[in-house]
Structure 1
Amino acid sequence: MAFWRDKLKIFKIALILSLFGGFVFVYYVYNPSTTLFIPCPFYYVSGFYCPGCGSQRAVHLLLHGNIIGAFRFNPLMVLTIPIMVYGLGVTIVNWIFGTKYRFMLFYSKLFIFGFFGIAVLYWVLRNLPYYPFNLLSPVG
């Protein structure tokens, strides 16, 4: 029985590494600003930037080590990445090893409503055409 549990853990680890490797490969090799990537549907329909606009280009720049350029495309996403990576890491460890660790920050109402409020404020401010708020819009 332990043999199959170990095989299942190895399979799960290989699956995660394959998916993560594929994601890194695609965003490292293909530049979202020059290749055919899915555009933001909200921007396409309304002409306004959503909180996620510029994230694909920011991830591409982060994988190339250009933190300032990535920050210029989507500062909220760049600042949120460490929290999301840690939370995703805890979830993956739980899935692979059958543990029940929790990232307690995600269970805090203050964090959830606070982050939602920051995202909505960021959404509104990045669409204002006035300096310094126009600096929040993604560079074209």
Structure 2
Amino acid sequence: MRERKKEENALFFIGWAFIGIVLFIYIFCRIFSIPPLKINGPCVLHMLFGIYCPGCGGTRSISALLHGHLWDSFVCHPLVPYTAIVGGWFLISQTIERISKHKIKIALRYRDIYLWIALGIVVVNFILKNVLLFVWNIDLLADYTL
């Protein structure tokens, strides 16, 4: 039980630190007129072999999510909305419980199953996108550009 508490504390602080870093990058990009989602380069695996890597569509998914297009975000990479929902609720519920000094017990508790679900999403997404592309010539990411 004590070990789970340490994991939850670490995830809580890492989550808020991650949000802080993302906000810093966003503000930096706004100040220097750099499109924030154009920082990363193209996928090397897709350029060399024509297949999608397990992360392909992630940046487009983030962009769609930030613009309020949940379905488009899900189609581009379902891990992004899953992480936003589960991670967001984890941070919000943990914050509320900590601020209330554990009087309001709504905090989402860490479970390994959340990571297994995320891994399953990545694997299914990778297989599905490449099968659709090579078997039926359906490119799910072709319609979604940044």
TM-score when normalising by structure 2: 0.52
Q: For 2:115 and 2:66, locate their aligned partners in 1 and report how far apart those are by CA, in whole Å.
A: 28
Aligned identity (percent) is 21
- Does 1:126 pair with 2:118? no
Q: For 1:64 and 1:125, locate their aligned partners in 2 and report how far apart those are by CA, in whole Å.
A: 25
Amino acid at match of 1:57: R
Check the 8 A contact 1:52/1:77 in 2, yes or no.
no
Shift of 1:134: 3.4
Q: 1:22 aligns with which of 24, 29, 39?
A: 24
Give runs of aligned pairs for residues 19-98 of structure 1, distance below 5 A. 19-25=21-27, 26=29, 30=35, 32=37, 35=38, 37-87=40-90, 89=91
Q: For 1:112 and 1:63, locate their aligned partners in 2 and report how far apart those are by CA, in whole Å.
A: 23
Q: 1:76 to 1:36 in 2, by over 3 A?
A: closer
How many residues are aligned here?
118
Q: Give structure 2 stretches of 5+ with no counterpart.
A: 1-12, 102-106
Partner of 2:104: none
RMSD across aligned C-alpha pairs, in angstroms? 4.1
- Does 1:108 pair with 2:130? no
Q: In structure 2, the residue corresponding to 1:134 is in which secondary structure? A: coil
Amino acid at match of 1:134: I
